[in-house]
């Protein structure tokens, strides 16, 4: 998984510059670390340590969680995340334990870059978590197209050469879909389906515009867009014979 690999690298760098650790944490080798998504804690800018003792079965799965240190608004999300951690399997049947530290730094990072890590590791069991900045101070309601003499200028579809219509559509904020590095046949098949969709989008129906992507800084909830009716019809026809993807979900 790309994120884990990158966070591990950042963690090594952090070890070099932060030799003093918040908490002695330890346990079996970590295969997958899930970062807690604590929306209420983000809004409240909670900072502090959450320490969780987990028991681990022979396959490396978490079977129980016990909080040894808590912070407000972090319990449910931390528990949900801790249950998804995966550890190295063991030859022996006895139950193993690990201590996981989630250090909520209270910092926020606003970023448009999906690649920028918001959480880093101090060690494999100690996660330092920053919040993604999603708010902007003065949200406007509508992102408008540029006007010329008070009018929205005419624009034609590059594929169909039709004059395009204008309508108001939702803006979708959030991270673009990350390509998984999971090599399962199902993942490959889905990835190929999306690649085919975007290729068709580019050449056959570039001006569908049922919604637009807005990055991860939330601004206006809606936007004026041009769209081409023939593009929308071409997209619908294409999706009928390629049911694996649905960009409008």
Q: Which residues form the interface with Zn ion (CB under 5 A)?
A: 157, 159-160, 207, 228, 230-231
Least distance from Zn ion to the Cβ atom of residue 35, Å = 41
Q: Give long-range contacts, CB 8 A cutoff, 24+ apart: 234-239.
A: 234/159, 234/204, 234/205, 235/200, 235/201, 235/204, 235/205, 235/208, 238/197, 238/200, 238/204, 238/205
CB 193 within 8 A of CB 185: no
Closest to Zn ion by CB, 138 or 203: 203
CB of residue 209 vs Zn ion: minimum separation in angstroms?
10
CB 189 within 8 A of CB 148: no
Cβ contact 102:37 at 8 Å: no
CB of 3 or CB of 211, closer to Zn ion: 211
Task: Using the minimum distance from each CB to Zn ion, give the nearer residue, 79 or 162.
Answer: 162
**Shortest separation between residue 156's beta carbon and Zn ion, angstroms:** 9
Query: What is the closest distance, in whole angstroms, from the C-beta atom of residue 225 to Zn ion in the complex?
Result: 13
Task: Kindly tell me which of 122 and 207 has the beta carbon lying closer to Zn ion.
Answer: 207
């Amino acid at each position: 998984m790309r994120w884990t690999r990158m966070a591990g690298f950042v963690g090594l760098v952090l070890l070099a510059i932060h030799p003093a650790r918040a908490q002695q944490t330890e346990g079996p080798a970590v295969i997958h670390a899930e970062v807690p998504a604590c929306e209420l804690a983000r809004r409240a800018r909670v900072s502090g340590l959450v320490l969780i003792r987990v028991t681990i079965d022979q396959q490396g799965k978490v079977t129980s969680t016990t909080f040894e240190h808590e912070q407000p608004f972090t319990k449910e999300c931390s528990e949900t995340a801790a249950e998804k951690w995966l550890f190295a399997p063991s030859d022996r049947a006895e139950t193993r334990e690990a201590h996981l530290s989630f250090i909520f730094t209270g910092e926020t990072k606003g970023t448009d870059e999906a690649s920028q890590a918001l959480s880093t590791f101090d060690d494999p069991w100690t996660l330092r978590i920053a919040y993604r900045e999603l708010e902007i101070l003065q949200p406007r309601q509508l992102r408008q197209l540029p006007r010329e003499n008070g009018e929205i200028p005419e624009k034609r579809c590059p594929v169909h050469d039709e004059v395009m219509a204008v309508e108001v559509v939702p803006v979708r904020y959030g991270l673009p879909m990350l390509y998984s590095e999971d090599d399962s046949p199902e993942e490959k098949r889905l990835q190929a389906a999306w690649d085919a969709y975007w290729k068709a989008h580019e050449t056959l129906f570039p001006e569908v515009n049922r919604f637009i992507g807005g990055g991860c800084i939330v601004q206006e909830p809606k936007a004026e867009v041009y769209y081409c009716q023939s593009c929308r019809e071409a997209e619908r026809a294409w999706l009928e014979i390629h049911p694996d993807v649905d960009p409008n979900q």
